Amino acid sequence: MTLDSPKDIETTTARAGSLQRLVSRLLVVAFGGGVNSTAMLVEMQRRGIKPALIIFADTGGERPETYETVKTVSAWCEAHGMPAIVTVQQHFQGKPESLESFCLRRAVLPSIAYGSKNCSQRYKSEPVDKYLNRWPLAKDEWKAGRKLVKAIGFDAGEERRAKPFECDKYDSVYPLIEWNIYREDCVDICKSEGLPTAKSSCFFCPSMKKHEILTLAKEHPDLLQRAIAMEQTAAAKLEIVKGLGRHFSWEGLVSADESQMKLFCDSGTPETPCGCYDG
């Protein structure tokens, strides 16, 4: 991590040890289903830190590898004296609704394609907040005038994402940043416990790189076709955005690859991780 100014140094110093100071309070882990949050749980167990709750927000459009990771890591947590992972999901008109079905119903793409992160807010943050608002232990803490502590798995190379914000219900902590653990370290930590190292994201996420899209086409052609169906459904409303790739359509990319045409340069997709990205 590079500190560029006295303000950066002050912020980093203020963060240092904050998790250790707050472990006596109710700790909630936001589990993203990928490498970073898995490594965070392993390191917590090794350091004697036990969360009261580990919660995973399912968009309904996660890749099969992510669902397998949630299942495997949940079993590992229980075997190591930690709580099983609780899965929550967004609802519409009283029934579970996936991000995919929302996009098809509204004939739109996930908001990250348009430069917004509302999809992460609605299908990740909101279901977690709704669960916590009904969770008896959380209600007791708030009634006593105490905030929950929410641990988020940004690694030491993602400090720019760990933006401070005011909230009367939570204090956010970033253990991997505090412990100076980078993504490559997270991979090693997961492997040391025999845990999965797959990246977590929706199978139709506009932040996916071109090689990831082509890999999806080869490994999960059914999911690729569902993503293209979403793109086609939204086509009539698209103006500046050309498709799920923002500056290109996934359908066009896959078609070009199949025809052995020259592929687009990876620099065409901005480095903008969605709010769901986990390692």
Q: What percent of the chain has pLDDT over 70?
A: 84
Q: What is the mean pLDDT of residues 15-35?
A: 77
Give yes or no: residues 173 and 248 share one domain. Answer: no
The mean-pLDDT minimum among 77-81, 82-86, 155-159, 184-188 falls in: 155-159
Report the C-alpha gap between 208 and 230 in whole angstroms.
Answer: 15
Give yes or no: residues 24 and 156 share one domain. Answer: yes
Q: In the chain, how many domains are there?
A: 2
Give yes or no: residues 95 and 160 share one domain. Answer: yes
| pLDDT, mean over the chain | 88
Geometric angle at alpha carbon 150, from 96 and 137, rounded to 5°: 75
Report the C-alpha dihedral over residues 61, 267, 199, 156, rounded to 10 degrees: -130
Residue 275 belongs to a domain: no
Give yes or no: residues 165 and 77 share one domain. Answer: yes
Backbone angles phi, psi at 214, to 5 degrees: -70, -35
Please say if the pLDDT value at position 13 is more than 70.
no
Geometric angle at alpha carbon 131, from 119 and 89, rounded to 5°: 40
Residue 197 belongs to a domain: no
The parent domain of residue 224 ranges over 210-268
Give yes or no: residues 35 and 120 share one domain. Answer: yes
Residue 230 belongs to a domain: yes
Give yes or no: residues 13 and 125 share one domain. Answer: yes
Give yes or no: residues 157 and 252 share one domain. Answer: no
Give yes or no: residues 186 and 232 share one domain. Answer: no
Give yes or no: residues 29 and 147 share one domain. Answer: yes
Give yes or no: residues 260 and 169 share one domain. Answer: no
Residues 6+ apart with CB under 8 A from 123: 57, 59, 60, 90, 98, 99, 102, 276
Helix (H, G, I), strand (E, B) or coil at 52: coil
Q: What is the pLDDT of residues 113-145, one digit of tens each?
A: 999 989 999 999 999 999 999 999 999 999 999
Tell me if 132 sits within 8 A of 27, measured CB to CB: no
| Position with higher pLDDT, 24 vs 128 | 128
The mean-pLDDT minimum among 89-103, 152-166, 179-193 falls in: 152-166
